[in-house]
Structure 1
Amino acid sequence: MYDGKFRGRLAMLLGTCLLAAAAAVAAAGPASPFMGGWRNLHSANGADPALRDVPFAVLPAAVAKGARFSILDREAGRTVCCLVVESERLDAIALETRYRLPGVWIADLTGGEEYNRRRGEPHIYEMKREGDLVDHVYSDDPAAYSDMGGLLLPADASMDATGVLTLGADRYRLQFKSLPFADENGALDRYTLQPASAAPAVVVEVPFSTY
């Protein structure tokens, strides 16, 4: 999924989608679980020093350094803890100069200017792996890519064999859909969490641009 041509304009369009996580959580009200998206990224080709497999979180609001989250291993049907906030809030300049990320991935994380004016700026953090996630083994199926990013959940989240997520005292039926783009230059992953009550569903969308 990391192969392909650089398409800055497409990346800006895709980047707005990850911010839907923040919008969905805010719209659903204060009782909604605090969640977002995450991406496992590396520095651009030829960057020196080269950085590999750095996880980044995109969240709807500020969190303190040391805050802990679980990731969803979609192929295994389980949550794994933990990704832990390692940095201060990051902006596009830091992502470019400190981590030397390709522009398409910076756009994935930061979103588009027009969208952010309407929805609010994203909160981006470098994360580090702790606990079970350090030695977690992902599926080796060629079509599996949960190691590249996806849904970021509260640290105490769990998932049962039927696909129901438990977040605190609440239970959510999880639906997943991957929407490949027609030009094969990326895909949008959509996670829909439907609560057992009549409350609105929470939708988290995570774009995967290619370059």
Structure 2
Amino acid sequence: MQGRNITQALLLALGLSVALDAAAQSATTAPVFGGWRNLHSANGVEPAQDDLAFAMLPTTAAKGTRFAILDREAKRVVCCMVVSSDRLDAGVLETQYRLPGVWVSDLLNEGNDTPPPYEPRVYEMKRDGALATYVFHDAIEAYSDLGGLLLPPGASIDAAGTVKTGTRSYTLQFQTTTFTDEDGTLDRFTLRPVGSPGAPVVVEVPYATY
């Protein structure tokens, strides 16, 4: 009987140790931020494909992975975008989705004057939850419905522009610049950790004119 009690105590201690290790690993895992674009097939393509959402992520993502989006003008986080495809390359984007070449370059973040912060992993996304029927903030020159920043699904943003996800906080800075050929713009989102060391997270979202 005493040996059985010792075995149970050891198993309980082992289980507690594993749970604590998992919690510590979860706490130290950096959240994933990325970009997204809302696109449609090239003019004249039949059947036309409209309102297609694509993620531009710094890491690989499995089908079913969820993200929230930022309505930048309204300073609101809305959930969710859900990964619905395997990773897409330029050939698939051109032949299966029939996207114009300039938008394929946008998704792959090619052709900019400076090296991108990461090589985008491109996925098709489906709108779910509140985002499925969400109406974006209506303002002059507002374009958050065309693309922008992807965040973890539990993230939030306050009036000062501080993004919170889990136990982490980031100061969000936004900058938009015109391409040198004036044929589009590049949006850059910079998330700087608050109260903890670490390099800022940079996300770029190009918008070429087509």
Q: Place the TM-score, normalised by the shorter chain, in its bin.
A: 0.7 to 0.9
Identity of aligned residues (%): 58
User: Residues 119, 184 of structure 1: CA spacing in aligned structure 2 closer, same or farther, 3 A cutoff?
Assistant: closer
What is the 5 A alignment of 1:59-208? 59-112=57-110, 121-196=119-194, 197-208=196-207
CA distance in 2, matches of 1:161, 1:86: 32
Contact kept? 2:117, 2:204, Cα under 8 Å: no
TM-score by length of 2: 0.80
Instruction: Give how far 1:184 is off.
Output: 2.6
**Unaligned residue ranges in structure 2 (runs of 5+):** 1-27
**Counterpart selection for 1:54 from 48, 52, 55:** 52
Partner of 1:106: helix, strand, or coil? helix
CA distance in 2, matches of 1:78, 1:148: 15
Instruction: Give how far 1:201 is off.
Output: 1.4
The one-letter amino acid of 2:202's match is V
Higher relative contact order, structure no. (Cα contacts within 8 Å, ≥ 6 residues apart) = 1
Task: Give the root-mean-square deviation of aligned CA atoms.
Answer: 2.2
CA distance in 1, matches of 2:180, 2:105: 19
**Unaligned residue ranges in structure 1 (runs of 5+):** 1-29
Instruction: Give how far 1:199 is off.
Output: 2.2
Instruction: Give how far 1:31 is off.
Output: 4.2
